Amino acid sequence: GRLVVEEYFHGTHRDQPHDLRSASKSHVAVLIGAAMQAGIPIRLDSPVYATMLGRLPDDLDPRKRAMTLEHLLSMTAGYQCGSDREAPHTADEDVMQQSGERDFYRYTLAVPLVSTPGETLYYCSAEPNLAGGMLERMAGEPQVELFDRLVARPLQMRPYHLILQPT
């Protein structure tokens, strides 16, 4: 019932928001699970492109048509996620941030696939980010508000900061 250790690194402190980077992947999965529990109509088999685009382009890669929320959460969507110079259009988060693109969802949806969804695991931050976008669209509510209502308040998480890239 008492705090045993509390440490901060690289000049951060308790009241300073900081980028959680990869830890955010777990946050999205927890939020989606809480949304499912609350009755928001999102399912693991929800199609990514139909959800995000509404109408699918006729020339859409058939592999992208088959991609589901489960592929995003398990990081098996098949996106090119490396920062290889040979693949200039990639879902690597650092490359995306440097691109100047303001709509990360649109950017990610345009990234080419290097494998069929479900086939190979690629560690890729863009995938849980896109899963959060799907949740927003299906819930009709911003992730920040969903997190507060479904996770933070029930777990009495205070204070916390949740800052997402604008889309």
CA distance 104 to 153: 28
Asked if 97 and 152 count as a contact pair (C-beta separation under 8 A), the reply is no
CA distance 74 to 94: 20
Can you give the pLDDT at residue 148? Answer: 94
Mean pLDDT of 91-101: 67
CA distance 110 to 7: 40
159: exposed, middle or buried (C-beta count within 10 Å: 0-12, 13-18, 19+)?
Answer: exposed
The DSSP output letter for 141 is S
Q: Which residues, 6+ apart, have CB-to-CB distance to 61 below 8 Å?
A: 112, 113
CA distance 77 to 128: 10
Cα–chain-centroid distance for residue 163?
13
pLDDT at 167 over 50: no
Encode pLDDT of 31-77 as tens digits.
999 999 999 999 999 999 999 999 899 999 999 999 999 999 999 99
* Element containing residue 71 per DSSP (H, E): helix 69-73
Mean pLDDT of 155-161: 83
Global pTM value: 0.84
Encode pLDDT of 117-144 as tens digits.
999 998 888 888 899 999 999 999 999 9
Crossing angle for the helix pair 126-139 and 24-37, to the nearest 10 degrees:
30
Give the dihedral sign, CA 78/124/163/152. Answer: positive
Alpha-carbon Rg for the chain, nearest whole angstrom, is: 17
CA distance 115 to 166: 29
